[in-house]
Amino acid sequence: MANGTIAVSDKSYLEEGTTKKSTGIMSWLLSTDHKRIGIMYLFAIGIFFFTAVLIGVLMRLELIAPGRTIMDAQTYNTLFTLHGVIMIFLFIVPGIPAVFGNFFLPLQLGAKDVAFPRLNLLSFWIYLIGAVLVLVSLFVKGGPIDTGWTFYIPYSVRTTTNVSLAIFAAFVLGFSSILTGLNFVTTVHRLRAPGMSYFKMPL
């Protein structure tokens, strides 16, 4: 001891109560951090967007000249439907709220996270399940849907399609958006910074 101080050689006590931050892909897929979930949404939605763009390019190539160019009518209707479903249900609907809402909303409110972090992660996984169901509807018995993104049967050129499965996939995707919306509403209502009224919230 010198000058009233004690030298401590064992500094293990400094690590008590701390946890090591996990790394790897599973740390992302199972994370409840709102910023990571927002980034995962951005990554998934980006993949679906560029897939839909590629499908759109194939459709335009088919229409480059009268008559059949690179695909038959059935294939064109299927790609037309898949393009619409991806753009509407997998890109436009969840795009802004899921990506920007998850990443920026808690930060703008002065909150550490959303009101229900685990529900937020569940919403992301439900979104992925809905996307998988859309893809499954292309390959299971009955054939791919060719009704357009409205799932309106008279637009189909076949009598047996997986419209019911596609509609269920749209319901699952909608349920994911509902959970996300409820989470955001609760976050805005309960987790605003002290002194921040509704009229003082940043736009």
pLDDT digits (tens, 9 = 90+) for 110-119: 899 999 999 9
∠ CA(175), CA(181), CA(187), 5° rounding?
Answer: 140
Q: What is the pLDDT of residue 171?
A: 94
Q: Average the pLDDT over 111-139 and give the result.
A: 92
- CB neighbour burial string for 141-152, b if at least 16 within 10 angstroms, e if fewer: eebbbbbebebe
Task: Return d(Cα 111, Cα 16) in angstroms, integer.
Answer: 26
Task: Return d(Cα 19, Cα 36) in angstroms, integer.
Answer: 18
Task: Return d(Cα 42, Cα 47) in angstroms, integer.
Answer: 9
Tokens 């076949």 belong to residue? 158
Q: What is the pLDDT of residue 50?
A: 96
68 three-class SS? coil
Helix ranges (H only) for the chain are: 25-29, 34-62, 73-85, 93-94, 102-109, 117-136, 163-190
Q: Is the dihedral of CA 58, 59, 62, 65 positive or negative?
A: negative
Q: Average the pLDDT over 37-58 and give the result.
A: 95
Q: What is the pLDDT of residue 67?
A: 83
Among candidates 175, 157, 158, which has minimal Cα distance to 167? 175
Q: What is the pLDDT of residue 141?
A: 75
Tokens 């419209």 belong to residue? 163
Task: Return d(Cα 110, Cα 101) in angstroms, integer.
Answer: 14
Q: Average the pLDDT over 163-177 and give the result.
A: 90
Is the confidence at residue 20, as pLDDT, over 60?
A: no
Q: What is the pLDDT of residue 119?
A: 94
Tokens 């439900």 belong to residue? 126
pLDDT, one tens digit per residue, over 44-54 is: 999 999 999 99
Is the confidence at residue 17, as pLDDT, over 50?
A: no
Q: Please report which confidence band the pLDDT of residue 160 belongs to, taking 50, 70 and 90 as the band edges.
A: low
> Structural domain boundaries of the chain?
32-189
The whole model's pTM is what?
A: 0.81
- Crossing angle (nearest 10°) for helices 163-190 and 102-109: 10
Is the confidence at residue 26, as pLDDT, over 70?
A: yes
Among candidates 4, 33, 201, 38, which has minimal Cα distance to 127? 38
What secondary structure letter does DSSP report for 199? Answer: G
